[in-house]
DNA sequence: AAGCTACGCTAAATCGTTTTAGCATGTTTT
DNA sequence: AAAACATGCTAAAACGATTTAGCGTAGCTT
């Protein structure tokens, strides 16, 4: 923090102009007819004294913060924290830092957060959008700000996004339950019209309609506490005693649901089959191990960063920003929890 | 992003000087004898037009980035991601943003990261230090940079830190195993001399020496893959068939260890008692539920932010920076996995 | 009436970069 | 020999805030 050298100091010490030093440092020396001799001299010197340009000055001048905002629904959720981990290194390697935040799926909070990020002039956004912030997203897009949505998106907006095929992967999962002999399949989901949730619901409905089986749906409000979820699922099971399997459309619904199943002393998969969305250590270690719809977290992360960095370069080049709409497929990882119900005696 | 108004625009539109506007906006109007009438006029106008000061300009001028660096060992580890979640809001509320990174407990990587954060002039650091970065930390402290270590610290340096009483909490856990009748207690830990690990090891040794029981220690290298951990624990158990219980000194060692125990077809707690460090959903949902040494994550987070914000204020006031050294206690959450071994027949 | 103080505001320097426009000097062209 | 061009570098404006030093006026003292 002491004796920080500025570009002016460098210029003085080398008996050159600030301009020259700056041009060399930014790789614009050749195109500005700076001699190789001078280039080498500058490069050698800045390396020797380990000159570090002031980010603030640079940002002020060129308007770039070299920061990407990562707006997750909840950074402590393993799905989001693993993505956070996976996007980190490549962002760093490209000279970007990532600031994170948790939206809690709350539109008002998200709006506030976006505002603070705008104030900071972050260069790009990676967002799990909440319902009701279409305006803000649209606004960012209109201003040609590099941006990617993930986990869900707004059908009406032409933003880039990375999602999975929720309908198909859920349909596959439900079909798997049916193949295993389950016939009264309950669907526990969030009370939400977001794309990921409606996609999963649709997959459920389609699979059941194709087989002529009855539907049992439990919708739980966003932001419910775990104990609320547990109770809701217990009631759901009490009201519909015929249910022989459950599909949980998110990881934490799955965790809460498993607790409910336990409290009701139902055995998995005999009394009740179980499939949950999103894989995690909990499901893998559970006894019995839980069948999950596993999102390709690495691929999602990779596509997100790739696309964002690409947009950042296009923006730099003042070109048109191409917004990738990417839909990946999720894998059904079959484990014991869906291996068929007890034969009636 | 369009028609951004600058402080100069505001000044012109109000027929005032830039200075006056700036003083008002920074709450230094009164002490500079700006009339109440002018103050009101400015405040009203900036609210009306929703004027947003340029962070870059401000940072360039006053050297403050309003950013806190959160350097975790691995942001996708539930222990760290839950802390990330818990420090986020209070930081935001105080006008700070948090950039995160994962050190992977790699000194070289950590050094690089600190360098990039220095370049960005982050205002404060919250760090899980790795071995070998004493110099860098010392350097930050010498430069009066607000900083808190957590999870572990350097005994030789007077940095602030938040840790738990590893020796005592481990000793309690081991004592609990002894009370439950276990006599051949294995200790699975990381091959590391960091304070948290040596503290836990010490607790183990002390508890056993007090009871005259034999020690069985397995040290696993940092950064081992899960399958390596599983194999190591399996070998450990094969080599020491007399072991009747295991203490895992980290959450992921615990997960790997449990897989090993399963593969060896040992039943918990009858064949082998288990306690793991750090609570998480996996341990709570495991069958049988795993006894854990539970760190007070909320309190840790709270103390971290509180202390950092405090240091930031002191720095602002050019006062001496008080570095809090905080040791909290962890709770032993007793569950089935340590409830006593099978009676020999 | 001259000298002070208080009051209310402002000019201008500063933070450290990037970048545009242009200045010498030397070399070709015609 | 004048005009044109190439070469190698630099002066200075700009980005948008904060802050120091100080300016003019009015009222009060002596």
CATH number at residue A25: 1.10.260.40
pLDDT at B163: 98
Look at residues A67, A58, A66 and name the one whose alpha carbon lies nearest to residue A22.
A58
Note whether A261 and A319 are same-domain residues. no
Two tokens, residue B146: 């607000």
Q: Answer whether residue A1 is part of any domain.
A: no
pLDDT at A1: 44
Q: Are the beta carbons of B301 and B269 closer than 8 angstroms?
A: no
Contacts of B75 in chain A (CB under 8 A): 81, 84-85, 88
Structural domain count of chain A: 3
* Cβ pair A119:B52 closer than 8 A: yes
* Cβ pair A84:B100 closer than 8 A: yes
Note whether B135 and B24 are same-domain residues. no
Q: Answer whether residue A201 is part of any domain.
A: yes
Q: Answer whether residue B343 is part of any domain.
A: no
Is-cis flag, bond preceding A269, omega within 30? yes
Per-residue pLDDT of chain B (345 residues; tens, 9 = 90+): 456 899 999 999 999 999 999 999 999 999 998 999 999 999 999 999 999 999 999 999 999 999 999 999 999 999 999 999 999 999 999 999 999 999 999 999 999 999 999 999 999 999 999 999 999 999 999 999 999 999 999 998 999 999 999 999 999 999 999 999 999 999 999 999 999 999 999 999 999 999 999 999 999 999 899 999 999 999 999 999 999 999 999 999 999 999 999 999 999 999 999 999 999 999 999 999 999 999 999 999 999 999 999 999 988 877 778 889 999 999 999 999 999 988 766
Q: Which residue has the tokens 């614009």?
A: A28
The Cβ-side half-sphere exposure at B14, using a 13 Å CA radius, reads 27
Q: Answer whether residue A345 is part of any domain.
A: no
Note whether A213 and A235 are same-domain residues. yes
A228: left (phi over 0), alpha (psi -120 to 50) or beta: alpha
Note whether A274 and A187 are same-domain residues. yes
pLDDT at B43: 97
Find the closest chain A residue to B140 by CA distance.
Answer: A1
Nearest CB to A100 within list B65, B98, B113: B98
Q: Answer whether residue A58 is part of any domain.
A: no
Instruction: Give the N- to C-terminal CA distance of chain A in Å, as an integer.
Output: 78
Per-residue pLDDT of chain A (345 residues; tens, 9 = 90+): 456 899 999 999 999 999 999 999 999 999 999 999 999 999 999 999 999 999 999 999 999 999 999 999 999 999 999 999 999 999 999 999 999 999 999 999 999 999 999 999 999 999 999 999 999 999 999 999 999 999 999 998 999 999 999 999 999 999 999 999 999 999 999 999 999 999 999 999 999 999 999 999 999 999 899 999 999 999 999 999 999 999 999 999 999 999 999 999 999 999 999 999 999 999 999 999 999 999 999 999 999 999 999 999 988 877 778 889 999 999 999 999 999 988 766
* Cβ pair A85:B75 closer than 8 A: yes
Note whether B17 and B138 are same-domain residues. no
Which positions in strand D are less than 7 Å from the protein's CB atoms? 7-21
The Å distance, CA of A7 to C1' of C24, is: 25
Note whether B154 and B233 are same-domain residues. no
Q: Answer whether residue A49 is part of any domain.
A: yes
Q: Answer whether residue B213 is part of any domain.
A: yes
pLDDT at B344: 66
Note whether B199 and B141 are same-domain residues. no
Percent of chain B with pLDDT over 70: 99
Give the nucleotide at minimum CA-to-C1' distance from A17: D10
Note whether B112 and B73 are same-domain residues. yes
Q: The domain containing residue B286 runs over which residues?
A: 166-295+332-338
The shortest C-alpha distance from B233 to chain A (Å) reads 17
Residue B234 sits in a domain of what CATH number? 3.40.50.2300
Note whether A209 and A121 are same-domain residues. no
Note whether B30 and B150 are same-domain residues. no
The b/e string for A145-169 (b: 16+ C-beta within 10 A; e otherwise) is bbbbbbbbbbeeeebbbbbbebbbb
pLDDT at B3: 65
Q: Answer whether residue A73 is part of any domain.
A: yes
Nearest CB to B121 within list A55, A101, A259: A55
User: Can you tell me which residue has its alpha carbon closest to the C1' of nucleotide C18?
Assistant: A61
pLDDT at B174: 98
The b/e string for B294-323 (b: 16+ C-beta within 10 A; e otherwise) is bbebeebbebbbbbbbebbeebeeeeebeb
HEC secondary structure over chain B? CCCCCCHHHHHHHHCCCHHHHHHHHCCCCHHHCCCHHHHHHHHHHHHHCCCCCCHHHHHHHHCCCCEEEEEECCCCCHHHHHHHHHHHHHHHHCCCEEEEEECCCCHHHHHHHHHHHHHCCCCEEEECCCCCCHHHHHHHHHCCCCEEEECCCCCCCCCEEEEECHHHHHHHHHHHHHHCCCCCEEEEEECCCCHHHHHHHHHHHHHHHHHCCCCEEEEECCCCCHHHHHHHHHHHHHHCCCCCEEEECCHHHHHHHHHHHHHCCCCCCCCCEEEEECCCHHHHHCCCCCEEEECCHHHHHHHHHHHHHHHHHHHHCCCCCCCCEEEECCEEECCHHHCCCCCCC
Note whether B219 and B287 are same-domain residues. yes
The Å distance, CA of A194 to C1' of D30, is: 81
The Å distance, CA of B291 to C1' of C12, is: 68
* Cβ pair B285:A59 closer than 8 A: no
Q: Are the beta carbons of B307 and B160 closer than 8 angstroms?
A: yes
pLDDT at B1: 44
The shortest C-alpha distance from B139 to chain A (Å) reads 9
Note whether B123 and B270 are same-domain residues. no
Which positions in strand C are less than 7 Å from the protein's CB atoms? 7-21
Q: How far apart are CA A273 and CA B166, in angstroms?
A: 42
Per-residue pLDDT tens over the stretch B34-57: 999 999 999 999 999 999 999 999
Q: Are the beta carbons of A200 and A253 closer than 8 angstroms?
A: no
């Amino acid at each position: 923090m002491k004796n920080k050298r500025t570009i002016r100091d460098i210029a003085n010490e080398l008996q050159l102009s600030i301009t020259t030093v700056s041009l060399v440092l930014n790789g614009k020396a050749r195109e500005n007819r700076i001699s190789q001799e001078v280039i080498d001299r500058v490069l050698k010197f800045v390396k020797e004294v380990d000159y570090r340009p002031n980010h603030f000055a640079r940002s002020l001048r060129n308007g770039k913060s070299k920061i990407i905002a990562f707006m997750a629904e909840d950074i402590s959720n393993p799905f989001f924290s693993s993505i956070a981990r996976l996007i980190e290194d490549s962002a760093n390697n490209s000279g970007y830092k990532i600031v994170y935040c948790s939206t809690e799926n709350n539109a008002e909070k998200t709006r506030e957060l976006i505002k603070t990020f705008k104030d900071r002039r972050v260069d790009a956004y990676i967002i799990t959008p909440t319902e009701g912030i279409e305006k803000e997203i649209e606004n960012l897009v209109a201003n040609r700000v590099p941006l990617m949505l993930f986990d869900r998106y707004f059908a009406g907006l032409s933003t880039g996004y990375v999602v999975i095929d929720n309908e198909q992967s859920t349909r596959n999962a439900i079909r798997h339950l049916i193949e295993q002999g389950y016939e009264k399949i309950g669907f526990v989901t969030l009370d939400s019209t977001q794309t990921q949730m409606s996609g999963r619901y649709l997959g459920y409905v389609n699979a059941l309609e194709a087989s002529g089986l009855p539907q049992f749906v439990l919708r739980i409000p966003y932001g419910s506490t775990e104990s609320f979820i547990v109770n809701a699922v217990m009631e759901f099971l009490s009201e519909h005693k015929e249910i022989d399997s459950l599909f949980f459309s998110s990881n934490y619904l799955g965790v809460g649901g498993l607790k409910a199943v336990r409290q009701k002393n139902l055995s998995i998969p005999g009394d009740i089959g179980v499939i949950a969305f999103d894989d995690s250590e909990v499901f893998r270690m559970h006894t019995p191990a839980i069948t999950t719809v596993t999102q390709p977290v690495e691929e999602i992360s990779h596509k997100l960063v790739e696309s964002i960095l690409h947009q950042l370069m296009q923006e730099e080049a003042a070109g048109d920003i191409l917004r990738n709409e990417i839909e990946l497929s999720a894998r059904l990882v079959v484990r014991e929890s869906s291996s068929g119900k007890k034969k009636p005696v």
